[in-house]
Amino acid sequence: MNEMILLKLGEMVLKGLNRRSFEDKLQANLARRLHRYGQFRIYTRQSTTYVEPKDDSCDMEGAYAAVKQVFGVVGVSLARACEKDADAMLETARTYLADRLLAARTFKVESKRADKSFPMTSIQLSQYVGGELHEAFPHLKVDVHHPEVTIHLEVRDFAAYVHADPEPGAGGLPVGINGRAVSLLSGGIDSPVASWMIAKRGVALEMVHFFSYPYTSPEARDKVIELARLLTPWCGRLTVHVVPFTAIQEELRRACPPELFTVLMRRFMMRIAQEVARRCGARALVTGECLGQVASQTMEAMRCTGAVADLPILRPCIGLDKEEIIRVARRIGTFETSILPYEDCCTVFTPRHPRLHPTLAEAEAAEAGLDIEGMVRAAVEGIERVQVNL
């Protein structure tokens, strides 16, 4: 039988009557993600999703790498199917996993008998296959606590499956199962991490970037598009709504107290992001804010910022420190792009002494003379939409 990929599901298996909807969403996401690697049959049985190539032209190496970035999967294994017979499983393990067994010094066999009609117990099957493998590979020693390689035997509905140690998957929930949100994507380290973290909770994303040409360069815009591209293996295809923000920043600098510039700027960002959310059917906003990291991220500043939005504002990085955020950025591949030396709009007209603990009354008073509705409308009408695919 052909090689296939076994995907172990995480918290999805704890769902109740709606579990099928989670499995269907995962299978649809897998089908889109794997389309470029060939034609696969994807189905779920007994808390395991099977990715089975339909012909020999499928790129199994590419597919295996791709499924490790699909949210909803906690473990990934290349496996070989065989008859539900102890000798067939032994022979499959001996040949299919020969390279792994020859390279190891210690091993063990673990069996799972999901098909209870199989005549041997899990322990009996493990003992039989383990003993025979020890005879076939006499250099190996059995180590049930810390083996270098574990041979997994799974007796399931339609066949038995043989594989070695699974690799970690992305975890989380399938993207899209928890609705859609708009994520504010700057060129920094935090916002791509926040986007990744909320996508991991099953949220599909629309990205909003605020662009202040000529104060920020075209390279800064390109950097953000590249960050979105780096997120697509995890989040799926993305639309980046590039908002012309220069006129708003210039008007704030002209008409408002400089010490409130940052919090007022972020209030306009929230207004615009919420309008984008309304137009694309999103139900929340996502930011990379981390409590106390900069002047605009005190509790008082965040209250002023969030007061203009009716939608919930999700802040997945709120309790992380910078080192923790950087570790995630390195893991998901966005860090090196985030630290490229192109400034984003948040650094334009930054006040020397920003107000650390602004009040809502101060912010509202500072905006009293502005044509808020007109400023937001002009920015939204000028949005450039960039489609980012894998």
Q: What is the pLDDT of residues 24-83, one digit of tens each?
A: 999 999 999 999 999 999 999 888 999 999 998 999 999 999 999 999 999 999 999 999
User: CB atoms < 10 A from the CB of 345, how many?
Assistant: 23
Residues 352 and 297 in one domain: yes
Number of domain units in the chain: 2
Instruction: Tell whether the model's pLDDT for residue 147 goes beyond 80.
Output: yes
Instruction: Tell whether the model's pLDDT for residue 348 goes beyond 80.
Output: no
Residue 16 pLDDT:
87
Residues 142 and 230 in one domain: no
Residue at a domain's end among 145, 171, 197: 171
For 66, 70, 202, 237, the CA distances from 193, given in Å and listed in that order, are: 19, 16, 15, 17
CA atoms of 76 and 56, how far apart (whole Å): 20
pTM listed for this prediction: 0.92
Residues 222 and 101 in one domain: no
Residues 155 and 206 in one domain: no
pLDDT digits (tens, 9 = 90+) for 281-335: 999 999 999 998 777 789 999 999 999 999 999 999 999 999 999 999 999 999 9
Q: Quickly tell me which residue has 């700057």 as its tokens.
A: 186
Residues 165 and 17 in one domain: yes
Residues 107 and 250 in one domain: no
Residues 348 and 279 in one domain: yes
Please give the residue range of the domain that contains residue 201: 180-388
Residue 354 pLDDT:
82
Asked whether the beta carbons of 380 and 272 are under 8 A apart, the reply is yes
Mean pLDDT confidence for 348-371: 89
- Residues comprising the chain, all counted: 390
Residue 296 pLDDT:
77
Asked whether the beta carbons of 289 and 318 are under 8 A apart, the reply is yes
State which amino acid sits at residue 383. I
CA atoms of 248 and 252, how far apart (whole Å): 6
Residues 162 and 67 in one domain: yes
Residue 346 pLDDT:
66
Residues 219 and 154 in one domain: no
Residues 135 and 45 in one domain: yes
Instruction: Tell whether the model's pLDDT for residue 178 goes beyond 90.
Output: yes
Residues 163 and 186 in one domain: no
Residue at a domain's end among 171, 193, 217: 171
Residues 350 and 275 in one domain: yes
Q: Kindly report the CATH number assigned to the domain that includes residue 378.
A: 3.40.50.620
Q: Kindly report the CATH number assigned to the domain that includes residue 125.
A: 3.30.2130.30
Residue at a domain's end among 120, 136, 171: 171
The residues with which 6 forms a beta bridge, in sequence order, are 50, 77
Residue 1 pLDDT:
55
The residues, any chain, with a CB within 8 Å of residue 352's CB and separated by 6 or more, are 258
